[in-house]
Amino acid sequence: MLIKTLFIFLIALLGYSEWLLGTSYVQRPIVLGPLVGLVMGDVVTGTIMGATMELAMVGAISIGAYNPPDTIAGTILGVSLAMQAGADASAALTLGIPIATISLALDTALGQPVMLFLVHRIDKNVEDGNTRAITRNMFIAGYAQSWCGLLLVPLAFYFGSDAVAQLLSIIPEFVQTGMDIAAGLLPALGFAMLAQMIMNKTVLPFFFAGFFLVAYFGVGTTGVAIFAAIIVAAMVVLGGFTRKPELPATETTTAGGAFDEF
């Protein structure tokens, strides 16, 4: 158990290293789920659970001042505790969503102040020209902002789902009910957001063609993928992707000139 807890901590450390590795998306459930499955001895189940949570949290991206739920703690604990209990992907979602919300609250209330303190220390280091201190405090600040998650994940995994259930029982029933309902709606919402980004009049017929193949003919995802590859190859050969040359846009004068964006 201690060895598994150590590996779970290392996975959490990798997830919370996204600030250090750039926008690598190592913190996404689709990446962390299979890693947790590897530790738990079932990569396939971990991948399925991770993909399910990715679909639910596809919109959990920090934009502007918005802080999304902690997908790292939610995914690692949701997947690992569900696999410990022999449950399915829906159980991982039911556990993962509230854990992600609680971890976000802890990191915001307790982790961010520590990071801000170190950031101000870095300002002083810059004034002093101490480059070694700048590097050291930057490295510490990156992980300090998530110290609650780094502590919560291995401890919750080690003490098991019973301890997590007791912690979640503190949450009022109406809040827990709301989060359960949200967990059921999030996969549909996440898929809708994903479809909104890629959907246009060219893609729409193929989307519904794939849907009807699965819904009415029982074709699996692998069969749909092969069928899609054949269509793409046929369109390339037959010139289906060639576009007509665009006519040069005519210049129009607006009331605000070139700077009028409205």
43, amino acid identity:
V
pTM higher than the cut 0.85: no
pLDDT in tens, 196-241: 777 777 778 887 888 888 888 888 878 888 888 888 888 888 775 5
Proportion of the chain in helix, strand, coil states, percent, rounded to 5: 75, 0, 25
- Per residue in 35-62, is it b (16+ CB within 10 Å) or e — as a string? bbbebbeebebbbbbbebbbbbbbebee
101, amino acid identity:
T
Whether 262 has a pLDDT exceeding 50, the answer reads no
Helix (H), strand (E) at residue 233? helix 221-238
260 vs 19, higher pLDDT? 19
